[in-house]
Chain A
Amino acid sequence: MTPIVRELADLRAGDTELFGGKSTSLGELIAAGINVPPGFAISTDAFTLFLTVDELGERIADALAQLNPADVGAVQRASDVIAEAMRATDVPETLRAEVSRAYRTLGEQAGVDEAAVAVRSSARGEDSAAATFAGQQDSYLWVSGVDDVCEAIRACWISLYSPMAITYRARLAAGDGAPAMGVTVQLMVDAEVSGVMFTCSPVTGDPSIVSVNASWGLGLAVVGGEVTPDEFAISKVTGEILRQTIGDKAVEYVHTPGELGARPAPTPAERRQISSLDVERLAGLLAAAKAIERHFGSRQDIEWAVARSGTFPSNLYMLQSRPVTATPTAGSDAVQDRKGADAMALVLGTFGVKRAGG
């Protein structure tokens, strides 16, 4: 039987069914030579195993049976019942043992006991779409100790039964089988600067640029739309910064030692309106974006962070990469219309001669 916990570096695209999209895409990034925080992945089998404990799966199915997804109150009650049942159920001992071993190995790699990690869900297929739809940010940051890691893993599973996720799956009529979810556990990156980048223009779809959004602190502020980030358009061809807009970055998410997670704090005045990235870091992001796009062979939407500790470029980490979907193809109509046309016919068009069928 396949192990239910594996190192991220061992995963490839083919493991998506078992480990979910997030963990496997990180495995692919590592394979492409991209700097990714080390970590391990929990398979969907672990969740299936969890459902067998104390007939948890049957109890969940009962709670969902006959549920009218349009009845908001009923959905909320079912969600609460399921969450309560899951919280009352211990993580299976086999999983706990494997997590414990992997977590210890990770700590040894990082040179610390009780390493701080980020625990995130790694859903697959429709569950991934459901999570996106529901706006779930199932990220548990600065988790340390095996107990807390296991609790965070369970919390990720619980998020599969949020009222939004239940409603979404019911609407899709995909709720026959139980949903499944993998989990990603990675060393925490205490970000000085973080953000998102597209390997094309998010507005026009032009593939000749990398478009970077950046802000101080952890990425939550950019992803959550809580700040006006700095925006950069970098030419993939020449590396020039074609445009930049420095945003007013009012808040930054910071971690307080000893606490779980991160909290928004006002950005100190002297940093609010200055650029959060310099030319060297932008060049590093451009190089990573190009490498990742080349590896996957498609346009990518990438989350990244620069750690407070360490030196550039080894402190520049890629946290996630997924295909860009909701972006137009550059100049689609205008270009489609001209493709394959004789050069002369196009020149005539410049002089106001309409082309036949054009």
Chain B
Amino acid sequence: MSTTTGTAAFPRPSEIATPEGCEGWEEMYPYYATFHEDRREADEGRLWFWNSMHFPDPMPAFDVVAIDGPYYALANWQNRVFAIPPAMGIDYRIVNGYVYITPNAVTDPDLIAERAGYFQERAGYYFANWDRLYARWQEKMDALIAEITALEVPSLDKYERDEVAFEDRDTSFYRVLDGWSRTLRMHERMWQHHMEFLLLGYGAYLTFSDFVKAALPEVPEQHIAQMVAGIDVLLFRPDTELRRLARLARDSGLDAHFTSGADPQTVVRTLAESEDGKAWLAELEAIKDPWFNMGSGDGFYHYHRAWFDEPALPFSAISGYIDALADGRDIERPTEQLAAERERLAEEYGSLLDADARATFDKLLGLSRLVFPYVEEHKFYCEYWFQSRFFNKVREFGGLLAEHGFLADSEDVFQLSRHEVAQALEELCLTWAHGGPARGPHHWPPIVERRRALLERLRAWTPPPALGTMPSEAINDPISVMLWGITPERLRSWAAAMDGDGTTLSGAAASPGVAEGLARVVRDVHDITDVLDGEILVSTVTSPAWAPIFSKIKAAVTDIGGIMSHAAIVCREYGIPAVVGTGRATVEIKTGQRLRVDGNTGVVTILDSEPAA
């Protein structure tokens, strides 16, 4: 069938040149994370695709934990616990700082049959006991978040505290080294929890989605997601709280403090000067934990900060909502209406089927709705809440190293791998304890500087969407389809785009409607505050954390992303068109170019060859 079968549509890993001035980039990464002569033959025969959904930026050395953590855990559950019959786990390589992944397939029919036995028994147990196991999961996450919050990074003082001398408490060197190791272990445990339900949750949804598409081929994907998605879910709460605060500010006559682009610190300072302002600030404080654990990114990079640490996004959203209220617009999420619409869609689509098909439809819809709270909520618990605490804990260790001259600044800790941080802390503990001269202050700062410069240069490199050889058989890895939307069709369209004229891009139609406007390309999460009213957001991936800017934009286009992602539903709720999974939008489109986004057909057209002046 496939015309691209066996052809070299994508570059071979060995053909990828190191960008000028980036020589030696490999020093940032584990020895096992790069393409190497040792396994060249095996690696070049496989198809590797850029995981721009989770890793759109070149990886800082420390942030490799956010590759290893998820991939240990995913593969462990997938391959060794549930034994998903045809698929073992995700293998990865880093090329010029960017993460490429490939699924490891099981091809031996006997082995597939053997695995099926384990899978049926174990997955069956999870589905049969879902509510109980998911309740247990939430307890485990609560405990883990409490534990990392409580973990104390000791200071290394001239003398130990009295408790060590008189009350048998641990010494500081031990507490530093143990604390570091526990910080890493908790991060790994979080990923263990994260992946426990992920495959089964997505799998149940995908089964329903496939059935609906077989029975009613014309049903838009987003209607399928709407029939399943929860209404009152955790991920919407942070945004709901911002709307409430906006209403409160307006009702208390505090509107004037929230001018567009105002610095949050200034806003807080001026509010504190009045009684009403103080009352508003008290309300803000009351909702911050947990809702300000919402982040601007996806939790995979240390610089994806929580609203706690970077309040510019929530403050800009609040002023946006205040402006909307002043214009007499309705800013409420019509939850009752959304809930009624969800039921109506399910009822009407169901009623188009004959009795037997309807019975299957109802069963699969029921199962999807059972698992969906996990699908939606794990992101808040894991990627936002836990990850922001984790990265901040790492910052505290960085602060300790900086205090003793091992680093110039606490942020520099992210330029070291987790093992290098352990080494630096070990030397710090040793030299602090014995008082002799330390090498660290000479050793680490030049490394940090060099890597910072490398990352800056690697950022300018454009990774191809895939590397290696298109498999002779269609990639049909259920996990790649489920988590990344990597279908044979998608791969073919990427291959075609490699030599396309670059004026149109196609992806999945995620939210209907057609819009024209100027593009705002956001490759770095920090740039999302630059997005202006009426622009079209073009990003590698949209995250539910960005919900507040959806009230500003006209349409959204992403490089990668599935229709079941919450982002697609957010777009629908805001009634703006979205096309996801274009593969190359952030590469082909420049900020300021005029675009037409057709959310009905999934086509994005670049109308100007050059950005408007």
Q: Would B357 and A335 count as touching, CB distance under 8 A?
A: yes
Contact: A350 with B478, CB < 8 Å?
yes
Does A9 lie at the interface of the complex (its beta carbon under 8 Å from any beta carbon of B)?
no
B364 CB-CB contact with A under 8 Å: yes
A238–B127 alpha-carbon span in the complex (Å): 32
A233 and B601 alpha carbons, distance in the complex (Å) = 12
B112: A residues at CB distance < 8 A: 352
Contacts of A242 in B (CB 8 A): 218, 220, 512, 600
Which A-chain residue is minimally distant from B220 (CB atoms)? A242
Q: Report whether A349 and B207 are in contact in the complex, using a CB–CB cutoff of 8 Å.
A: yes
Q: Tell me, rounded to whole Å, the shortest Cβ–Cβ distance linking B171 to chain A.
A: 50
User: Which residues of A314-341 are within 8 A (CB) of B?
Assistant: 330-331, 334-335, 338-341
Q: Is B287 an interface residue (CB 8 A)?
A: no
* Chain A: number of interface residues, binned into ranges: 35 or more
| Contact pick for A351, options B203, B211, B352, CB 8 Å | B203
Q: Are B218 and A208 in contact (CB under 8 A)?
A: yes
Cβ contacts under 8 Å, B366 to chain A:
343
Residue A340 contacts which of B199, B213, B356 (CB distance < 8 angstroms)? B356
Question: Which of B123, B344, B357 contacts A339 (CB under 8 A)?
Answer: B357
Q: Is the CB of A348 within 8 A of B120?
A: yes
Bound-state CA distance A243–B345 (Å) is: 19
For A211, give the chain B residue with the smallest CB separation. Answer: B218
For window 87-109 of chain B, which residues contact chain A by CB distance below 8 Å?
Answer: 87
CB distance A346 to B119 under 8 Å? Answer: no
Interface membership of A240, Cβ < 8 A? yes
Contacts of B363 in A (CB 8 A): 342-343
Of the candidates A233, A340, A342, A344, which one forms a contact with B218 in the assembled complex, judged by CB atoms under 8 Å apart?
A233
CA distance A283 to B85 in the complex (A): 48
Contact yes or no, B84 A330, CB < 8 A: no
Nearest neighbor of B117 in chain A, beta-carbon distance: A353
Per-residue CB proximity of B341-385 to A under 8 Å, as 1/0?
A: 000110011001000110110011011000000000000000000
Cβ B211 vs Cβ A346 within 8 A: yes
A237 vs B216: C-alpha distance in the bound complex, in angstroms? 12
CB proximity of B347 to chain A, nearest CB, Å:
9
- Whether B600 lies near A350 (C-beta < 8 A) is no
Also in contact, A241 and B219, with CB within 8 A (given A343-B364, A352-B112): no
Interface residues of A in 165-212 (CB under 8 A from B): 201, 204, 206-209
Q: In the docked arrangement, what's the CA distance between A208 and B120, Å?
A: 34
Give chain B residues whose Cβ lies under 8 Å from the Cβ of A334.
214-215
Is A347 located at the chain interface by the 8 A CB criterion?
yes
In the complex the two chains form, is B356's CB within 8 Å of A208's CB?
Answer: no
Chain B residue at minimal CB-CB distance from A333: B214
User: In this assembly, does A96 line the interface, its C-beta being within 8 Å of a C-beta of chain B?
Assistant: no
Q: A340-B359, A347-B207 are in contact. Are A240 and B218 (CB under 8 A)?
A: no
Residue among A201, A338, A354 with max Cβ neighbours from chain B (10 Å): A338
A76 contacts the other chain (CB 8 A): no
Chain A residue with minimal CB distance to B213? A331
Whether, in the assembled complex, B541 has its beta carbon less than 8 Å from a beta carbon of chain A, the answer is: no
Q: Identify A338's interface contact among B211, B352, B478, B600, CB under 8 A.
A: B211
Residue tally, chain B, CB below 8 Å to A: 45
Note all chain A residues with C-beta closer than 8 A to B127.
Answer: 344, 347
Question: Quick one: closest B residue to A348, CB to CB?
Answer: B120
Q: Is A104 part of the contact surface with B, judged by Cβ < 8 Å? A: no
In the complex, what's the smallest C-beta–C-beta distance from B209 to chain A, in angstroms? 9
A331 and B207 contacting across the interface, CB-CB below 8 Å:
no
B521 at the interface (CB under 8 A from A): no
Q: Roughly how many angstroms separate A185 CA and B396 CA in the complex, as a whole number? A: 88
Residues of B within 8 A of A340 (CB): 356, 359-360
Measured between C-beta atoms, what is the minimum distance from A200 to chain B in Å? 9
Known: A242-B220, A351-B119. A237 touches B478 (CB 8 A): no
- A346–B123 Cα gap in the complex (Å)? 12
**Nearest CB of B to A191, in Å:** 27
Q: Indicate whether A12 reaches chain B with its CB closer than 8 angstroms.
A: no
Q: Are A348 and B211 in contact (CB under 8 A)?
A: no
Residues of B within 8 A of A235 (CB): 219-220, 223
CB-CB contacts below 8 Å: B181-231 with A: 199-200, 203-204, 206-207, 210-211, 213-220, 223
Which residue of chain B has its CB nearest to the CB of A352? B86
Chain A residues lying within 8 Å of B611, measured Cβ to Cβ, are: none
A321 vs chain B, min Cβ distance (A) = 19
Q: At the interface, yes or no: B116 with Cβ under 8 Å from chain A?
A: yes
Report the separation of the CA atoms of residues A334 and B207 in the bound assembly, to the nearest whole angstrom: 13
- The answer to whether A240 and B349 touch across the interface, beta carbons within 8 angstroms, is no
Cβ of A272 under 8 Å from chain B = no
Chain B residues within 8 Å of A59, by CB = none
A236 contacts chain B at the CB level, 8 A cutoff: yes
Contact of A352 among B84, B207, B364, B600 (CB under 8 A): B84
B124 interface hit (Cβ, 8 Å): yes
CA A347 – CA B478 in complex, angstroms?
11
Bound CA span A341–B359, Å: 9
In contact, B348 and A237 (Cβ under 8 angstroms): yes
Contact A339 B85 (CB under 8 A): no
Partner of B214, one of A240, A241, A335: A335
By the criterion CB–CB under 8 Å, are A352 and B85 in contact? yes
Assembled-state Cα–Cα distance A126/B213 (Å): 38
Given contacts A237-B345, A243-B601, contact A351 B478 (CB under 8 A): yes
Residues of A near B203 (CB, < 8 A) are 347, 350-351
The reply to whether B360 and A331 form a contact with Cβ atoms under 8 Å apart is no
Given A201-B218, A331-B214, A351-B203, verify A238-B359 contact (CB < 8 Å): no
Which residues of B sit under 8 angstroms from A237, Cβ to Cβ?
A: 223, 344-345, 348-349
Residues of B near A330 (CB, < 8 A) are 215-217
Rounded to whole angstroms, the CA-CA distance of A335 and B214 in the bound complex is 6
Closest 7 CB pairs of A and B: A352-B86, A334-B214, A331-B214, A339-B356, A343-B363, A206-B218, A204-B217
Given contacts A241-B600, A335-B214, 16 further A-B pairs with CB under 8 A are: A206-B217, A207-B216, A208-B218, A236-B352, A237-B345, A330-B217, A331-B214, A335-B215, A338-B211, A342-B363, A343-B360, A347-B203, A347-B367, A348-B116, A349-B207, A353-B120
**Chain B residues within 8 Å of A, Cβ to Cβ:** 84-87, 112, 116, 119-120, 123-124, 127, 199-200, 203-204, 206-207, 210-211, 213-220, 223, 344-345, 348-349, 352, 356-357, 359-360, 363-364, 366-367, 478, 512, 600-601
What is the interface of chain A, defined by CB distance below 8 A to chain B?
201, 204, 206-209, 233, 235-238, 240-244, 330-331, 334-335, 338-344, 346-354
Q: List 9 A-B contacts (CB under 8 A).
A: A237-B349, A335-B211, A342-B363, A344-B124, A347-B127, A351-B478, A352-B87, A352-B112, A353-B119
